[in-house]
Homo-oligomer: A and B are copies of this chain.
Amino acid sequence: MSELAERRKRGRPRKEARSGASARAAILKAAAEEFAERGYEAASLRAIARRAGVDSALVHHYFDDKADLFTASLEAPLRPDRALEVILAGPHDEIGVSIVRFLLEQLENPKAQARMVAILRTALSSGPGSRMLREFLTREVFLRLATAAGGDDDARLRANLAAAQLVGVMITRFVLKLEPIATAPAEDLARRVGPVIQWHLFGDPSQPLA
Interface residues of A (CB under 8 A from B): 120-121, 123-126, 130, 134, 137-138, 142, 153, 156-158, 160-161, 163-169, 171-173, 175-181, 184, 188-189, 191-193, 195-196, 198-200, 202-203, 205, 208-210
* Chain A, interface SS category: helix
Shortest distance from the beta carbon of A127 to any chain B beta carbon, whole Å? 11
Shortest distance from the beta carbon of A170 to any chain B beta carbon, whole Å? 8
The number of times this chain is found in the oligomer is 2
- Across-interface contacts of A130 in B (CB, < 8 A): 175-176
B179 touches A156 (CB 8 A): yes
A176 touches B124 (CB 8 A): yes
A205 touches B176 (CB 8 A): no
Q: Which residue of B lies closest to A160 (CB)?
A: B181
Option from B176, B180, B184, B208 in Cβ contact (under 8 Å) with A134: B176
- Across-interface contacts of A157 in B (CB, < 8 A): 180-181, 184, 188, 192
Docked pose: A54 CA to B178 CA in angstroms: 35
Shortest distance from the beta carbon of A161 to any chain B beta carbon, whole Å? 6
